[in-house]
Amino acid sequence: MKTPPRLQSLVDEGLIDTVVRQLMSGKEALAYVVRCGDETRCAKVYKEATNRSFRQAVDYTENRKVKNTRQARAMAKGTKFGRQAQEAAWQSAEVNALYRLAAAGVRVPTPYNFHDGVLLMELVTDAQGDAAPRINDVELTADEARTHHAFLLREVVRMLCAGVIHGDLSEFNVLLGADGPVIIDLPQAVDAAGNNHAQRMLLRDVGNLRNFFGRFAPELLRTNFGAEIWDLFQRGLLSTETVLTGAFTREERAVDLGGVLREVDDARAEDAARRLRMQPAPR
């Protein structure tokens, strides 16, 4: 096929030889099957992020570092340069997460290069060598559902031990490759220790897996792996060798209402101070 304009620079740099076909089109990116020498790979071309709400961006990007204070100010003000910097940071987050997780042994597509807004990575294939389907498009037996669910829970734990939470894990972000599930789409990955929404995102990721695989193996719907994983992580007891039970019972404690109200007041004070700092200086 004709080389798309966004991939031409990779062809010019010798990173891609030919573009075979378009693989998929999503709200955040286009994916192409490309040839690189003797290998077939996937090129993910990012779109401008116009479909993510401001609240989602705040939740996911909380505590992410930016290169300099100029970028930080521009991102906070929402200027054109700031939006460009925010989009570049969003794309870099996926690249960084992929390299970090691949090094930790998590089953994600192997990243090869990131150039001019294009992520070049492994093309995940099925047993016939074709592009692997999303697991949502596969009819599973109860045994297959249990096996894949257990595998993905181990990968969630492995990710968490590497300090990363996917943040949007579901049946739509898992491919069923020839050697089992592969986790994809990580631009919203968050730092487990540095994001105040980390627990909620981890519980949602694990809950999504439970609800999907529970359609085929209903007993999974009665499990509580998310709370168990987070509790072990918080107490420093989680490792890639941890045996999970899914039978977690939360310890009931009296609510410290005064402490909660103090946190609310502190948050309001911080928000007021932030808004004051963002006001333009008097002329």
What whole-number distance in Å separates Cα of residue 44 and Cα of residue 157? 26
Region 53-109+129-234: CATH code:
1.10.510.10
pLDDT value for 243: 96
The residue ranges of every structural domain in the chain are: 53-109+129-234
pLDDT value for 88: 58
Q: Block means of pLDDT (10 residues each) for the chain, length 283 residues?
A: 92 95 87 96 82 46 51 48 54 86 97 92 95 96 98 98 96 97 92 90 97 98 97 96 90 63 70 55 47
Quote the distance between the C-alpha of residue 55 and its chain's center: 16
Query: 200-218 burial, b for 16+ CB within 10 Å, e for fewer?
Result: ebbbbbbbbbbebbbebbe
Query: Full-prediction pTM beyond 0.85?
Result: no
Which residue from 88, 79, 81, 98 is spatially nearest to 49, judged by alpha carbons?
Answer: 88
pLDDT value for 54: 39
What whole-number distance in Å separates Cα of residue 173 and Cα of residue 27? 13
For residue 119, give the 3-state DSSP assignment.
Answer: strand
Neighbours of 254 (CB within 10 A): 5
